[in-house]
Amino acid sequence: MKVLLVYPEFPDTFWSFKHALKFIRKKAGAPPLGLLTVAAMLPADWEPRLVDLNAQSLSDEDLAWADIAFVSAMIVQRDAARLAIERCKQAGLTVVAGGPLFVGEHEQFPAVDHFVLNEAEITLPPFLADLAAGHPQRVYATAEFPDIRQTPVPRWQLADLRQYDTVSIQFSRGCPFNCDFCNITALLGHKPRTKTAVQIIAELESLYTTGWRGNVFFVDDNFIGNKKILKTEVLPALIAWRAGKVGMPFSTELSINLADDAELMALLVEAGFTTVFVGIETPNDAGLSECSKAQNRGRDLVESVKRLQRVGLQVQGGFIVGFDSDSASIFQQQVDFIQMSGIVTAMVGLLQAPHGTRLYERMQRAGRLAGEMTGDNADGSTNIVPEMGLEPLRQGYRWLLGQIYSPRLYYARVRTFLREYRAPKVSLRLEPDYVMAFFRSVYQLGIRGKERAHYWALLFWALFRRPRLFPLAVTLAIYGFHFRLVTELHVQ
């Protein structure tokens, strides 16, 4: 059986880093981990071919070659998924779909022949068995959560890794917290399920043997959901594995309570973690209470962020406006917090209600749902009728983004961060693409850009004040270019 593994294109969003990736001549952020993992679960006599539409096109030759197509997508890829499915159907292929988009919306995709929903470790085997027997059902779903200690190593060789800046792997699924706007617990449960240290090292080693030395992102919902296993097994194994190796800096997503654990912070840094994404959401305690973000309450959030930065972890932050408790002052409060904290990559979005969340159910009961969410938390859209009114919310949101991604505030925030940040200990390999990215930034930002005065001021400041962080200063300047373009093109 010849199977196309099709991954639809992402729209141009903050998280796509599309405009930043051009500086290093990469086509996409990361290959699709889900499809590469599913590929490793297929029968040995199946022949898979990955077509990531973020890095390549779906050719007529691909379609003529295949017997069946597997499509995986997130909500933000909804429109692109429809186009990919239509193209496969026109070519006469049987289409199988799975992933977060289809878990909540599979009834809206009548063209799909079969849905393999939830986690593939449970739902894929019965589908494959029924397919082989000639009587596959349309929907395979489960409320159970698999033991991911049985999950195979992804088939990295199916992806052209030269096209990507980052490769994703996964240690755990699930989150112990219960934020009411988040659908992670509905999809993957409250109790974090983990792989073994042996599994993680095997995945990293297989990736390393391909020649990969770039960024590695642990896509866990909350990487520190099981601190005991991290401290006693996984991080010590990562530290031992990394000894003598070059490159592969790690990043991940986790909760702010990491700042309370000095031992865990030190282990993460020693293991090679340089960047963490944290859901800050709001500096307003009423908003945190409203969304049940208990782990963020009762603490000095700015100091917690700076504690992470001082040990060598760059903090990227998620922020939300549009809580019922938000007043007109929330927009300035968010700007002030972001600037004081030095969170350079600050992803601010309007509150949205995904399927399966307590927020969705609450808004549905109140008659305050307004269609489907886009899945893009930074496009200025919401599927909730906001308490403050939609137009005041959108106006405040546009003003907020215009502030934090203006050259003056953005570059000031970079300096605030660099003053706190300890240079990482990861030994990095100097890549030609990154050297060329510097010269491209000189031309695009330092000569042509409206931010050129801020750009040169930052570079000279970093060169003389924090020379070890000069490459990071250049990288963040390039990120700022991407963020401003997205803001100007899609939000203003």
Q: Convert the pLDDT of each residue in 3-27 to its tens digit.
A: 999 999 999 888 888 999 999 999 9
pLDDT digits (tens, 9 = 90+) for 84-117: 999 999 999 999 999 999 998 999 999 999 999 9
Give strand pairing partners of 47: 2
CB 175 within 8 A of CB 66: no
pLDDT digits (tens, 9 = 90+) for 401-418: 999 999 999 999 999 999
Same domain? For 411 and 444 the reply is no
Q: What is the pLDDT of residue 239?
A: 97
Nearest to 281 by CA among 167, 367, 359, 186: 359
Same domain? For 461 and 414 the reply is no
Higher per-residue confidence, 88 vs 378: 88
> Which backbone phi and psi does 90 adopt, to 5 degrees?
-60, -30
- The CATH number given to whatever domain includes residue 90 is 3.40.50.280
The two three-digit tokens of residue 426, written as one number = 């990861």
Ordered alpha helix ranges (H), 366-492: 390-404, 407-420, 432-441, 452-465, 470-486
pLDDT digits (tens, 9 = 90+) for 120-171: 999 999 999 999 999 999 999 999 999 999 999 999 999 999 999 999 999 9
Residue 427 above 70 pLDDT?
Answer: no
Q: What is the pLDDT of residue 16?
A: 86
The answer to whether position 395 is within a domain reads: no
Q: What is the pLDDT of residue 371?
A: 84
Residue 437 above 70 pLDDT?
Answer: yes
Same domain? For 316 and 446 the reply is no
Band of the pLDDT at 491, cuts 50, 70, 90?
low
Please state at what angle helix 330-341 crosses helix 407-420, rounded to 10 degrees: 40
Q: What is the pLDDT of residue 375?
A: 84
Query: Which residues constitute the domain of residue 66?
Result: 2-140
Give strand pairing partners of 52: 7
Instruction: Output the CA–CA distances (angstroms, integers) from residue 114 to 69, 94, 356, in the order listed.
Output: 10, 8, 22
Same domain? For 219 and 270 the reply is yes
CB neighbour class for 120 (10 Å; exposed up to 12, middle 13-18, buried from 19) = buried
* Interatomic CA distance for residues 216 and 224, integer angstroms: 17
**Percentage of the chain lying above the pLDDT 90 cut:** 88
Handedness of CA 183, 184, 187, 189 (dihedral sign): negative
Residue 185 above 90 pLDDT?
Answer: no
The answer to whether position 154 is within a domain reads: no
CB 106 within 8 A of CB 112: yes
Q: Count how many domains the chain has.
A: 3
DSSP state of 58: -
Same domain? For 128 and 184 the reply is no
Q: What is the pLDDT of residue 488?
A: 86
The answer to whether position 367 is within a domain reads: no
Same domain? For 202 and 136 the reply is no
**Percentage of the chain lying above the pLDDT 70 cut:** 98
pLDDT digits (tens, 9 = 90+) for 249-282: 999 999 999 999 999 999 999 999 999 999 999 9
The answer to whether position 156 is within a domain reads: no
> What totals of helices (H) and strands (E) does the chain contain, helices first?
20, 14
Band of the pLDDT at 376, cuts 50, 70, 90?
confident
In sequence order, the 6+-apart residues with CB closer than 8 A to the CB of 490 are: 12, 13, 379, 380
Residue 425 above 80 pLDDT?
Answer: no
The answer to whether position 487 is within a domain reads: yes
- The CATH number given to whatever domain includes residue 197 is 3.80.30.20
Give strand pairing partners of 71: 6, 97
Same domain? For 309 and 230 the reply is yes
Same domain? For 84 and 204 the reply is no
> Which backbone phi and psi does 224 adopt, to 5 degrees?
-100, 25
- The mean pLDDT of the chain is 95
Residue 490 above 70 pLDDT?
Answer: no
The answer to whether position 371 is within a domain reads: no
Same domain? For 314 and 440 the reply is no
Same domain? For 80 and 198 the reply is no
Nearest to 267 by CA among 220, 217, 228, 306: 228
> Which backbone phi and psi does 314 adopt, to 5 degrees?
-75, 130
Same domain? For 42 and 99 the reply is yes
pLDDT digits (tens, 9 = 90+) for 200-214: 999 999 999 999 999
Residue 428 above 70 pLDDT?
Answer: no
Q: What is the pLDDT of residue 442?
A: 97
pLDDT digits (tens, 9 = 90+) for 300-311: 999 999 999 999
Residue 492 above 60 pLDDT?
Answer: no
Q: What is the pLDDT of residue 57?
A: 97
pLDDT digits (tens, 9 = 90+) for 31-66: 999 999 999 999 999 999 999 999 999 999 999 999
Residue with tokens 């099709």: 6
CB neighbour class for 243 (10 Å; exposed up to 12, middle 13-18, buried from 19) = exposed
Q: What is the pLDDT of residue 244?
A: 84
Same domain? For 237 and 340 the reply is yes
**Strands (DSSP E) found in 113-161:** 114-116, 139-140
